[in-house]
Structure 1
Amino acid sequence: MKSRYVHTNIIAKDWKRISLFYQRVFGCKPIAPQRDLRGEWLDKMTGIENAHIVGEHLSVPGYDENLPTLEIFSYDNMESSNEKLINGIGLAHLAFEVDDVSAVLKKIKEEGGGQLGEMVKAEYPNNMIATFVYAKDVEGNIIELQSWEKKRE
């Protein structure tokens, strides 16, 4: 059986705002066309009567320009009782490896996101040191920032 990872979907209150956040902070790029989806097939697939989805896919840095993607969508009618917790059941966060965790965290805050917990350094096998911090995008989705370096001896 062959398989490959294709995308991660984020349902946003304002898909354009979230899309711009990921473009500005991480350099993600929109992949045409923008989506405007509706029809009997979508109603059947989602189980939502008269479902209507708008949004777009974003390429993610470090990979082919078409896959995998972040799929940023908004529905006309959305459930808003979805508190995002780092220890909540289900998908917890998106992770990005970056050169400078502090600089990217600063950019996240400048773009309207926030920080969750403290920035930490941890020693790993093979003389590696990792820097980690959890952040939040403009709608509260959790993002892990990480960088790796060889321990200086």
Structure 2
Amino acid sequence: MENGRGSSNGVLRVSHLNIVARDVDRLAEFYRRVFGCQDLRPPRELSGKAVDRGIGLRGAKIRSVWLSLPGAVDMFLELFEFAAYEDRPAGSANSAGYAHVAFEVEDLQAAHEGILQAGGSALGEVTNLGSDETPYFAVYMRDPEGNIIELEGR
């Protein structure tokens, strides 16, 4: 890193977002169904000394699924299912650490209903964060594994 900017040429690019799943196939199907994500490659099994060194675990066995994020350029959703994982309680909107992933959607009500129909749940209520003249709606929800999703839209 040079000058704290992420790389020697000053360009920082977000590559992907990773979610560790209890059931990677079920979670992948949720994101395909609700947000139109598509597989970028066949699922892969990851393990071995290089994987262990890179992630700081011993004997890790990971099933990895890569999904497109519609509208995102050169960024994808990476879902991992570890053969052995540490469960933790679902966080709340004010839990320290990574909190949520936000999706801007064309039809917030349809996305809201789609999440519920696909096994997700509501966390908050659809709220107008804009004005009566220029509405901008948002709501926090959970995917089937409890990860927080924010929907945003007009």
Structure-to-structure mapping, 1:46-125, within 5 angstroms: 46-64=55-73, 67-123=74-130
Conservation of the 8 A alpha-carbon contact between 1:16 and 1:55: no
1:144 aligns with one of 142, 146, 150: 150
Measure, in 2, the Cα distance between the counterparts of 1:26 and 1:81: 26
Give the aligned CA root-mean-square deviation in angstroms: 1.3
Asked if structure 1 preserves the Cα contact closer than 8 Å seen for 2:130 and 2:137, the reply is no
Corresponding position: 1:5 with 2:21:
no
How far the C-alpha of 1:3 sits from its partner, in A, is 2.4
Q: How many residues align?
A: 144
Q: Is the partner of 1:56 in helix, strand or coil?
A: strand
Deviation at 1:128, TM superposition (A): 3.1
Q: Decide which structure has greater strand share.
A: 1
8 Å CA contact 1:117, 1:133 repeated in 2: yes
The aligned amino acid for 2:137 is T
TM-score (norm 2): 0.88
Corresponding position of 2:5:
none
TM-fit CA distance, 1:30: 0.7
Q: Which structure 1 segments of 5+ residues have no match?
A: 149-153
For 1:86, the aligned partner's letter is A
Name the counterpart of 2:36.
Answer: 27
Contact 2:136 2:153 in 1 (8 A): yes
Partner Cα separation in structure 2 for residue 145 and residue 11 of structure 1: 20
Which residue of 1 is the match for residue 3 of structure 2? none
Separation in structure 1 between the aligned mates of residue 93 and residue 44 of structure 2, nearest angstrom = 30
Structure 2: give runs of 5+ residues left out of the alignment: 1-7
CA distance in 1 between partners of 2:116 and 2:142 (Å): 9
Cα offset, 1:55, TM superposition: 2.0
Question: Once the 2 structures are TM-superposed, how far is the Cα of residue 123 of structure 1 from its aligned partner?
Answer: 2.0
Cα deviation for residue 83 of structure 1 reads 2.5
> Does the 8 Å CA contact 1:114/1:135 hold for their aligned counterparts?
yes
